[in-house]
Amino acid sequence: MWSDRDTDQGFPGYRGEILIVSSREPDIPPAGYALAVATLVDCRPMSVLDEPAAQCRKTPKAIAWVLENVRRIKKPFPVQGELRVFEVDVTGLLDPAITDS
């Protein structure tokens, strides 16, 4: 299931296309894989009104990452992740043929 809200403890200044990558911890498959592409349109303090879309309760200092146009990756691929927003070279790994809505 995909959410149109993600929560984190920071405000990235970036807006645009992002790659959604699963965390390596806990080690639950598909840990460390790119799973989706989305458009990040806003980042703001989370409110209780965001809870249904985020599928979690508001916590102190929680940030709502507002996503649109979320597309699953048909063939997830491993990504060496980092915390926060970071660059990933997806040359040859990501094109319209491997994603769907």
* 3-class secondary structure, 40: strand
Give me the mean pLDDT over the 91-99 stretch: 60
Give me the mean pLDDT over the 30-35 stretch: 91
Give me the mean pLDDT over the 11-40 stretch: 86
What's the confidence (pLDDT) of residue 9? 47
pLDDT digits (tens, 9 = 90+) for 41-79: 998 899 999 999 999 999 998 888 899 999 888 889 998
Element (H, E) at 19: strand 16-21
Residue 86 pLDDT exceeds 70:
yes
- Other C-beta atoms closer than 10 Å to the C-beta of 19 total 20
What's the confidence (pLDDT) of residue 2? 43
Contacts of 4 (CB under 8 A, 6+ apart): 53, 66, 67, 68, 70
* 3-class secondary structure, 28: coil
Could you tell me the domains of the chain? 5-80 (2.30.130.30)
